[in-house]
Amino acid sequence: MSQHRLSVTAADAPAAIGPYSQGIRSGAVLFCSGQIPLDPVSGELGGETAPDQAGQCLRNLAAVCRAGDTSLSNAVRCTVYMTDLGQFDAVNEVYASFFAEDPPARVAIGVAALPRGALVEIDAIVAVPS
């Protein structure tokens, strides 16, 4: 593995469900793969509603951030993928609770489907303080 690229694995986040890393750290930046709302213990989809699922996605991302020596509060950009943009306001409330001050830049995208039938997936690019 290159010194410029370090794979990050969080024991308290769900294992990757495909050929990808939970995160890749390169210098002072952590690139977190998209997290669907999998329970890290059972590996099962958690949450019945889009807001509940968004909360689990963000908790999973927070775990990857901790494993990468940073925190989700240092996110510089997130992408939120949703199968129903009609749930945007409800998901936004949960999202805002994770970023009470100085939220990151964000993109929200409506998609036809997500892995395992998830309603929400979220990825993040996170600064790693020196």
All structural domains of the chain with their residue ranges: 6-127
Say what the pTM is: 0.95
Tokens coding 25: 């750290």
Residue with tokens 């990825």: 123
Tokens coding 34: 């998209």
Give yes or no for residue 2 having a pLDDT over 60: no
Query: CA–CA separation, 130 vs 127, rounded Å?
Result: 9
CATH topology for the 6-127 domain: 60s Ribosomal Protein L30; Chain: A; (3.30.1330)
Pairing of strands 23-26, 29-35: antiparallel
Tens of pLDDT, residue by residue over 19-69, are: 999 999 999 999 999 999 999 999 999 999 999 999 999 999 999 999 999
